[in-house]
């Protein structure tokens, strides 16, 4: 289960590196955050969910969320262009 989670994380990070997806990118970030929050709540509240495998999957979802926001922020900084300065 952990290997499958890491395999899917690889594709999620590849998907996050694509630039210019508009609202799809925002929805993807929101869904990543909701998945992480769901994992966290279940880990803290559900007694059967407090296992090491579930905790590692929780960390994978956290890494997915952080990587998505980081890649989006970094690529957004590259997309900023400024026009010619005054006097040009």
Q: What are the pLDDT digits (tens) for 18-48?
A: 766 677 777 888 888 999 999 999 999 999 8
Confidence band, pLDDT 50/70/90 cuts, at residue 75: low
Sign of the C-alpha dihedral computed for residues 39, 43, 46 and 47 taken in this order: positive
**Three-state SS for 18?**
coil
Nearest of 50, 67, 59, 63 to residue 14 by alpha carbon:
67
Q: Report the pLDDT value the prediction gives residue 87, as an integer from 0 to 100.
A: 52
Cα 52 to Cα 54: distance, rounded to the nearest angstrom: 5
């Amino acid at each position: 289960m952990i290997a499958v989670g890491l395999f899917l994380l690889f594709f999620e990070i590849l998907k996050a590196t694509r630039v210019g997806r508009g609202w799809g990118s925002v929805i993807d970030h929101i869904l990543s955050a909701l998945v992480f929050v769901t994992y966290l709540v279940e880990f803290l509240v559900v007694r059967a969910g407090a296992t090491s495998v579930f905790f590692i999957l929780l960390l994978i979802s956290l890494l997915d969320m952080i990587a998505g926001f980081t890649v989006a922020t970094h690529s957004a900084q590259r997309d900023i262009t400024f026009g010619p300065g005054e006097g040009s």
